[in-house]
Amino acid sequence: MDRKDLARDLAAIVGPDHVRVDDGALAAYARDATPLFHSLPQAVVLPGSTEEVAAVLKYATERAVPVVPRGAGSNLCAGTVPLTGGIVLALTRLDRILEVSSEELLARVQTGVTTARLADAAAQAGLLYAPDPGSRTVSTVGGNVATCAGGLRGLKYGVTRNYVLGLEAVLPTGEIIRTGGRLWKDVAGYDLTRLLTGSEGTLAVITEVTVALLPAPAETGTGVAYFPSLADASRAVADVIASGIVPATLEFLDRKCISAVEEFAGLGLRQDAGALLLFGDDGDARAVATNLGRIQEVCDRAGALEVTLAEDVARADALLAARRCSLPALSRLGSVTILEDATVPRHRLAEMVDRIDEIAARHDLTIATFGHAGDGNLHPTCVLDPDDHEAVDRAHAAFAEIFAAAIALDGTITGEHGVGAAKLPYLADRLGADQVALLRRIKNAFDPAGILNPGKLGS
């Protein structure tokens, strides 16, 4: 519809200050953090309340205008790119922390609160918000729920899904629903809380989130081990699990990542190793010390070149920085980084990285891999020049092969980033045609006019 009419109608709902139709705003909201995807919306609207979200959605359904909900726009699979134009519904103004209860071990926040702010508010009450996606300083809690965000602590603590107790959400047709609530046990009705978690803004718009918190662990410890090869590191991971320990953190960097991180940050990482394994645990102080000691022994026995426990918090933070700066370090190697998250069962990690290396070499691409060894969640990262169209084509071909390899190893095309527009072409390979057809029928049960985030999950 006409951009001016749209702006006028939206301004009547949220006020003129909170509707943007200028070229600068439209260009800014045409992209998220995914390279190579962009598409201009007709308008950007920033509602200030759940009721305003409902009014926008009702309006959009009546006029069949697409609506793309968006938090911080840190999505890595083009999940918040407005592929067919329409309205970008930016939820960043809904940014109030509504309550943090140490009595009930929960927090209730509006959808646009950043994950780090929620975690900090919990920490101030002596509590832990366990999910810690890499994007936590910018990403929003609503966005985390919409993508079922993971993070570094997935194996021991689970992912966002495990911490969502209740949601307030608005259906595309404008009804406001409340799913779940403040309870650990509640089986009244289908589990819409979990169905909306990971639905990537295609079924409803999440406006408020209630999450479970844990008592903050008394102690946290971190260590690093270098191995001759990723296969050795992978064997060490298996041995750690077999020894009865489920560590809070088990991250790996391959040789290319170690080298890029060292060049970027100068942390003093060993350059002769084929793999770096970062491990950490938290909880009762003595249990942490015992577990870290046992992990050190297991790594030594598995052929580690060197194992070091961080003697203090500063050194532990430095080690964690090596993992957290993998992406910025790699992004210096080319003007675009395509970060993926194929996932395989933990014991097939080394096999999968071998496959990735082989595929990268065959397509003449630089692909470095880091990720979460504990839960088999890999982040193969391709660095290239986006103006080299041939290289871009080769990268697409390589990732198609990487996804197929992950599926063949009992894995999946996305562990924690989502499907979005980027991986929709591969979804039927993972789920089968019958299940994809079922997803479409579920989408239709929520969104009969098909206005919500078109061209993504359920399309």
Q: Which is nearer to a second copy, 40 or 287 (CB)?
A: 287
Number of residues that bind a second copy (CB under 8 A): 90
Q: Which residue has the tokens 């097939």?
A: 348
379 touches 340 (CB < 8 A):
yes
Structure tokens at 186: 């509640």
Closer residue to a second copy in complex, CB, 290/335: 290
* Of 126 and 328, CB closest to a second copy: 126
Is 372 a binding residue for a second copy by CB under 8 A? The answer is: yes
Q: Which is nearer to a second copy, 21 or 352 (CB)?
A: 352
425 sits near a second copy (criterion: CB under 8 A): no
Phi and psi angles of residue 44, each rounded to the nearest 5 degrees, phi first: -115, 130
In the DSSP assignment, the letter for residue 42 is S
Q: How far apart are CA 99 and CA 179, in angstroms?
A: 18
Regarding 154 and contact with a second copy (CB under 8 A), the answer is: yes
Minimum distance, C-beta of residue 294 to a second copy, in the bound complex (Å): 11
Assess contact for 456 and 201: CB atoms under 8 A.
yes
* Cα three-residue angle 389-390-392, rounded to 5 degrees: 65
Could you tell me the two tokens for 121? 């508010």
Residue of 174, 204, 206, 208 whose CA lies nearest to 60: 174
**Interacting residue with a second copy among 64, 313, 361, 438 (CB under 8 A):** 438
Helix (H) or strand (E) run with residue 59 in it: helix 50-63
Instruction: Candidates 39, 84, 162, 296: give the one binding a second copy (CB under 8 A).
Output: 162
Residue 297: in which H helix or E strand, if any? helix 285-301
116 burial (CB, 10 Å; 0-12 / 13-18 / 19+) is middle
Question: In the beta sheet, which residues pair with residue 306?
Answer: 226
Q: Which of 3, 286, 332, 362 binds a second copy (CB under 8 A)?
A: 286
Residues 182-201 that bind a second copy (CB under 8 A): 182-192, 194-195, 197-199
Looking at 32, 129, 416, 455, which residue binds a second copy (CB under 8 A)? 416
Give residues 26-65 in contact with a second copy (rule: CB under 8 A): none
Does 245 participate in binding a second copy (rule CB under 8 A)?
yes
**Span from 22-30, 265-273, 284-292, 293-301 in contact with a second copy (CB under 8 A):** 284-292
The one segment of 62-70, 88-96, 326-334, 410-418 that binds a second copy by CB under 8 A: 410-418
Query: Contact, 356 vs 284, CB < 8 A?
Result: no
d(CA 113, CA 206): 12
Minimum separation from the CB atom of position 207 to a second copy (A): 15
Q: Which helix (H) or strand (E) holds 313?
A: helix 313-324
Strand partners, 339: 381
Q: What is the rounded distance in angstroms from the CA atom of residue 56 to the CA atom of residue 91?
A: 12
Footprint on residues 112-151 left by a second copy (CB under 8 A): 126, 147-148, 150
Residue range at the interface with a second copy (CB under 8 A); choices 3-11, 219-227, 311-319, 435-443: 435-443
Q: Which stretch binds a second copy (CB under 8 A): 259-267, 281-289, 300-308, 358-366?
A: 281-289
Residue 439 DSSP SS3? helix
Residues 318 to 357 in contact with a second copy, rule: CB under 8 A: 343-347
- Of residues 398, 400, 402, the one with CA closest to residue 390: 398
Cβ-based nearer residue to a second copy, 296 or 331:
296
**Which is nearer to a second copy, 85 or 154 (by Cβ)?**
154
Q: Within 10 A of 5 (CB to CB), how many other CB atoms are there?
A: 10
Task: Give least dist CB 348 to a second copy, A.
Answer: 10
User: Strand 377-384 relative to strand 43-45: parallel, antiparallel, unpaired?
Assistant: unpaired
Query: How far is the C-alpha of 211 from the C-alpha of 100, rounded, in Å?
Result: 10
**Choices 5-13, 54-62, 91-99, 413-421 (CB under 8 A): range interacting with a second copy:** 413-421
268 binds a second copy (CB under 8 A): no
Q: Which is nearer to a second copy, 3 or 178 (CB)?
A: 178
In whole angstroms, how close is the CB of 387 to a second copy at the nearest point? 31
- Among all chains, which residue has been given the structure tokens 């911490």? 163
Considering only 32-40, 68-76, 133-141, 373-381, which stretch makes contact with a second copy by CB under 8 A?
373-381
Told to check if 413 binds a second copy by CB under 8 A, we report yes
* Nearest by Cα to 119 from 76, 79, 93, 152: 152
Tell me whether residue 155 or residue 383 sits nearer to a second copy (CB atom): 155
* Choice from 27, 98, 214, 361 touching a second copy (CB under 8 A): 214
Whichever of 82 and 154 has its CB closer to a second copy, that residue is 154
Print the binding letters for residues 88-107 with a second copy: x by CB under 8 A, - otherwise: --------------xxxx--
Site for a second copy contains 219 (CB under 8 A) = no
